[in-house]
Chain A
């Protein structure tokens, strides 16, 4: 397939460019900033994978899910981990069923000739499709390759091959090719440096914690039951916590957890006492909790 600069599907759906896509994403409850909307738009139009990096909890995975909703495509998620093998990412044969099939054929004395029997064993119905193959077969789809930095080098090289021609060849069956490549979103937490060769195939975007107004808007959109006042105070406190040089600064996800926890306990604003009791929703290290407790609580969670 040739590289096309304009895909009719994407430009038709979002004629106004990134702004239209941003509006559609907002409608699903995901609030992107200009850079992220542009990145997602270009990924759709240029048919290039989108490589997202940033602190944990800034909304990398959520973007892929929101994009699937916006485009109406099915989403397939491949969670990476060390030791991930091609058979867990692409496809595998269902050996148990193959063996049963063989026995059944034997019992029915349908043993016409070994060649055709063997061929019948490698039928599509004995193939277990894993996320990469599913995404190609079901394309146009969204393929989320989550935490690619956790997989090892061998897997990265393999991924590079799949992402460059969107073709998977299965020796016993033939080749699966996606007419329209899936929209690929790769995420990384930067636990290690991902190879430049892989990044070069992708659009690169570094996600940051949202600014105050956007974070308030996110909290309001995702948690409509939380009061405006509580949302603003949680966002302000989260922003302050991020400046404290903590082991794990809270992300948007943690801010949402915190607001939910406070709301569940009946808080309408950030009352210092409740805040101290629910700190476990935002801070995940004892050192961080100690540190925040040691600081003047009033200064952190003050009303206003």
Chain B
């Protein structure tokens, strides 16, 4: 049984010790000699989601069938083309900044220039510098009212508080206390295109996504799209941006591949969106709209997305280029269902984007 748990962990199911303990007592409550009882005892206690079930079945067959355990997580994927962390500039150390005021000014105006530079054209050093500035571009969450109430000077009468208060005055209601709905952050869903044509921007977009997740871990979701859909929210929750991006890179199987936006968007809406993730959310699609599949499917799915979402924002880095016209089939199909169409090529553009998200 314990050997089986180990096999299962190797297959990617988080069979923690307390779950294994539960499995043992479940097996004890059933007929241990019956193979299907053992199967169910393990499946009911060790699995935690539909994704675990296939892995469990494979591991069960492998272990009790006497085969070698099979790893379902392929180890050597195509290495992600994320820019790795460059060493810090020597000049960024101690003391120097303080005595060298003009240098600081130069640095500041450098930042100003950098804010408007296209992310794709940067040198590695500039990119590294910009990366630190990214931590500052945290989109404020859009808010909505929730059904939860909180005490407030105005609003509906809060019977409980009023009576409790009146008890102090011998049952005389001397003052009405009120409560009103509490504003709650609205969910923000980011769909980041990681196909080949978006490669120069994917790093910056994912860093933006990381900042957003870090700011509001409970109400932000990140998916990557390309030839398939990958949820990277969990990876994005890692505190350190470089580690979060590296972990996401591992999770994304279609890095720098082609684009089948319509299909992937459909997969997102079927599996997540319609069930609640996109409902009432601000959905941000980051893509250049180079669609390899049919624009009709994309048009249909964008319309569906708009019916579910509170607002749909489309980020296209190419919009920042002079003379850009959204002529690609994908963009043409998507634009009618988009509430805001913004650029996402520079730090300044990201600031604009975060303002659009906050105001949505």
Contact = CB atoms under 8 A, between A and B. Distances in A.
Interface of A: 3, 5-6, 17-18, 34-35, 38-39, 41-42, 45-46, 48, 53, 81-85, 87, 92-93, 95-96, 98-99, 102-103, 106, 114, 118, 121, 149-150, 152-153, 189-193, 196, 199-200, 203-206, 247
22 contacts: A3-B25, A5-B25, A18-B37, A35-B40, A38-B40, A38-B41, A42-B44, A46-B25, A83-B148, A87-B160, A102-B167, A121-B167, A152-B146, A191-B277, A200-B18, A200-B19, A200-B48, A203-B22, A203-B44, A204-B44, A205-B44, A247-B274
What size tier do the contact residues of chain B reach? 35 or more
Contacts of B29: 5-6, 41-42, 45-46
Contact of B171 (A46, A99, A152): A99
Contacts of B36: 34
Of A121, A153, A193, the most chain B CB neighbours within 10 A belong to A193
Given A39-B40, A42-B26, A192-B276, A53 B50 contact: yes
Contact of A83 (B147, B270, B277): B147
B159 interface: yes
Nearest to B275: A191
B84 to A, nearest CB: 30
B176 interface: no
B270 to A, nearest CB: 8
B166 A153 contact: no
Interface in B54-92: none
A11 to B, nearest CB: 8
B240 to A, nearest CB: 22
Nearest to A149: B276
A95 B44 contact: no
Contacts of A93: 160, 163
A196 B48 contact: yes
A294 to B, nearest CB: 14
B180 interface: no
Contacts of B30: 17-18, 38, 41-42
A53 B279 CA distance: 20
B150 to A, nearest CB: 11
Nearest to B37: A38
Nearest to A92: B160
A196 B162 CA distance: 39
B40 to A, nearest CB: 4
A179 B25 CA distance: 21
A150 B277 CA distance: 11
Contacts of B14: 196
Contacts of B45: 203-204
Interface in B265-306: 270, 274-277, 279
B218 interface: yes
B31 interface: yes
Nearest to A199: B48
A298 to B, nearest CB: 27
A92 B28 CA distance: 41
Contacts of B163: 93, 95, 98-99
Contact of A118 (B47, B50, B167): B167
A82 B277 contact: no
B50 A191 contact: no
A106 B49 CA distance: 59
Interface string B12-41: 001010110010011011110000110011
Contacts of B31: 17
Contact of A189 (B148, B166, B275): B275
A35 B43 contact: yes
What are the nearest 5 A-B pairs in CB distance? Answer: A83-B147, A191-B276, A102-B171, A95-B163, A38-B40
Nearest to B21: A3
Contact of B44 (A38, A81, A96, A193): A38
B53 interface: yes
Contact of B40 (A6, A34, A190): A34
B160 A95 contact: yes
A82 B159 contact: no
A189 B53 CA distance: 17
B274 A95 contact: no
A81 B147 contact: yes
Contact of A46 (B22, B40, B47, B274): B22
Please indicate which of the listed interface residues B44, B45, B171, B275 has the most CB atoms of chain A within 10 Å of its own CB: B44
B28 A206 contact: no
A103 B166 CA distance: 12
Contacts of A98: 163, 167
A103 B14 CA distance: 59
B28 A5 contact: yes
A240 B44 CA distance: 29
B50 A82 contact: no
Contacts of A84: 147
Given A35-B43, A38-B40, A53-B50, 13 more contacts: A34-B40, A42-B29, A85-B148, A98-B167, A102-B167, A149-B276, A152-B148, A191-B279, A200-B16, A203-B22, A204-B47, A204-B48, A247-B270
A3 B21 CA distance: 12
Contacts of A38: 30, 37, 40-41, 44
A199 B13 CA distance: 14
A247 B47 CA distance: 27
Interface string B151-175: 0000000011011001100110100
A38 B245 CA distance: 42
